[in-house]
């Protein structure tokens, strides 16, 4: 039997650079309330959202991803040809195949890296970070580009009271590469498939085509049960991620949860007893819920506004359709 040489990677992995793309169209609450018989006051009170960004026809999943990825590469000081894997977390690339990751990799001028999409909805980005970290340490890729991108307006029913004011578009990206010290802690992740139907595409494509009056399926959500699950169960997952990384709440600089609802952000921070010294991401107020893009967008804003700085210790936690979740502690690039 031949001896197979084992793969060997870097001692540790870290996020080396971050980039973001926010669509140009700013949509205030006033523009969505009429179709759903709602009000600016209700939306702000229940979700914390003041406005959201919706993409123009030119702002595609690919173009937004490329823009975010270029900034991440530049800030990391990594050439596109050094990227050995591109992971795109999205649920709104509208072709089942091929993966949009290969087209993004090509447009970026990479040298034919591994490239694939992952589907873990709002938790997609933190899943991608976990996979990339393991790849770098195992030796399957030197540098990995992880992109979280959504054009949820393609799946939005603007007349649906439960979702029309929440979901939005955008892209965020990070470059993950080798490090002498641990820059990404162990992931805590999981799923609860018993709650599969709580957030989902309304219909299977085959049922749409078989229908006498085919309409585009949309993203539907039973908001309140998801709200309750996220507010309580996710704080425990966040605590586990801190424990596994050996970081106490006092040592944490930033908390960057998925931007689903400002009340969920606050409930998690309360349940985890985060001290006042921890800066909390609140991008949802201006950006809406961009699913897989929400964490890199939120962290990018914190860096721009100076509430986070390179070298800070941040807890990332994301949760959504599936239900799926993933959390880890990282060093801010
Ligand atoms: O990103 C993936 C993960 N997603 C999430 O984590 C989202 C989690 N869920 C949520 O963010 C919240 O559930 C929502 C913001 C979607 C809704 O807030 P809620 O506090 O759970 O509201 P609710 O569904 O319990 O509805 C409360 C009331 C109801 O009226 P009554 O029965 O109390 O008279 C609804 O009919 O608000 C009414 N309502 C609305 N009123 C104005 C529901 N939707 C609207 C609306 N505008 N759009």
Ligand 1 shell residues, CB under 6 Å: 36, 38, 42, 46-47, 122, 161-162, 165, 199, 223-224, 226-227, 230, 260-261, 264, 289, 291, 320
Q: Tell me how far the alpha carbon of residue 46 lies from the centroid of ligand 1, in angstroms.
A: 7
Taking residues 202-210, report their average pLDDT.
94
Mean pLDDT value of segment 204-216: 93
d(CA 10, CA 133): 10
Q: How far apart are CA 326 and CA 122, in angstroms?
A: 10
Nearest CA to ligand 1 atom 45: 161
Cβ-count burial 161-197 (b if 16+ within 10 Å, e if not): ebbbbbbbbbbbbbbbbbbeebbbbbbbbbeeeebee
Strands 83-89 and 143-151 come out as: parallel
Residue with the smallest CA separation from ligand 1 atom 21 is: 224
- For 54, what's the count of Cα atoms within 13 Å in the CB-facing half-sphere? 17
| Tokens read off for 326 | 């993933």
- Residues found in the chain: 333
Rounded Cα distance between 184 and 107, Å, is 28
Question: What is 12-179's CATH topology?
Answer: Peroxisomal Thiolase; Chain A, domain 1 (3.40.47)
* Dist CA 205 CA 288 (whole Å): 27
Q: What is the pTM of this model?
A: 0.97
pLDDT at residue number 126 = 98
Tokens of 78: 């990594």
Domain ranges of the chain: 12-179, 188-331
Task: Band the pLDDT of 319: cuts 50, 70, 90.
Answer: very high
The residue among 294, 143, 162 whose CA lies nearest residue 225 is 162
pLDDT tens-place string over residues 147-198: 999 999 999 999 999 999 999 999 999 999 999 999 999 999 999 999 999 9
pLDDT at position 1, please?
92
**Residue 127 pLDDT:** 98
Task: Report domain 188-331's class.
Answer: alpha beta
Domains 12-179 and 188-331 share a fold: yes
- Specify the 3-state DSSP secondary structure of 217: coil
For 206-230, give one letter per residue: b (16+ CB within 10 A) or e: eeeeeeeeeeebbbbbebeebbebb
Average pLDDT over residues 283-293: 98
Residue with the nearest Cα to atom 3 of ligand 1?
Answer: 320
pLDDT at residue 273, rounded to an integer: 95
Nearest CA to ligand 1 atom 17: 223
Mutate to test the pocket of ligand 1, among 227, 288, 292 (most ligand atoms within 8 A of CB): 227
| Strand locations in 97-192 (E) | 114-118, 143-151, 169-179, 188-191
For the stretch 13-55, pLDDT in tens is: 999 999 999 999 999 999 999 999 999 999 999 999 999 999 9
- Out of 4-8, 219-223, 295-299, least confident range: 4-8
What confidence tens digit (pLDDT) does each residue in 300-315 have? 999 999 999 999 999 9
Mutational test site, ligand 1, from 46, 124, 259, 264, max ligand atoms within 8 Å of CB: 46
Active site amino acids: 122, 258, 289
């Amino acid at each position: 039997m031949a001896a197979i040489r084992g793969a060997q990677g870097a001692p540790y992995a870290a996020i080396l650079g971050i980039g973001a793309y926010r669509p140009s169209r700013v949509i205030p609450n006033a523009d969505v309330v009429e179709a759903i018989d709602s009000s600016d006051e209700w939306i702000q009170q229940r979700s914390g959202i003041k406005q959201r960004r919706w993409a123009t026809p030119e702002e595609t999943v690919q173009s937004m991803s490329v823009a975010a990825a270029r900034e991440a590469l530049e800030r990391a000081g990594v050439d596109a040809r050094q990227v050995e894997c591109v992971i795109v977390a999205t649920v709104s690339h509208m072709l089942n195949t091929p993966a949009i990751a290969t087209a993004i990799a090509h447009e970026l001028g990479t040298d034919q890296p591994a490239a694939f999409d992952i589907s873990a909805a709002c938790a997609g980005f933190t899943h991608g970070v976990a996979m990339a970290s393991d790849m770098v340490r195992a030796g399957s890729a030197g540098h990995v580009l992880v992109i979280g991108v959504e054009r949820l307006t393609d799946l939005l029913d603007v007349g649906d009271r439960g979702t029309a004011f929440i979901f939005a578009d955008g892209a965020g990206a990070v470059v993950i590469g080798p490090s002498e010290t641990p820059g990404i802690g162990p992931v805590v992740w999981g799923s609860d498939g018993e709650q599969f139907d709580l957030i989902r595409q309304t219909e299977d494509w085959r049922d749409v085509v078989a229908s006498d009056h085919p309409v585009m399926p949309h993203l539907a959500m039973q908001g309140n049960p998801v709200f309750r699950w996220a507010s309580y169960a996710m704080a425990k997952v966040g605590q586990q991620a801190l424990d596994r990384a050996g970081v106490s709440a006092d040592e944490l600089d930033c908390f960057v949860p998925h931007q689903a609802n400002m009340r969920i952000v606050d409930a998690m921070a309360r349940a985890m007893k985060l001290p006042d010294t921890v800066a909390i991401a609140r991008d949802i107020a201006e950006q809406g819920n961009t699913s897989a893009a929400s964490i890199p967008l939120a962290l990018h804003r914190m860096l721009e506004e100076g509430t986070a700085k390179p070298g800070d210790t941040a807890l990332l936690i994301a949760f959504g359709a599936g239900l799926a979740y993933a959390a880890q502690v990282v060093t801010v690039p």
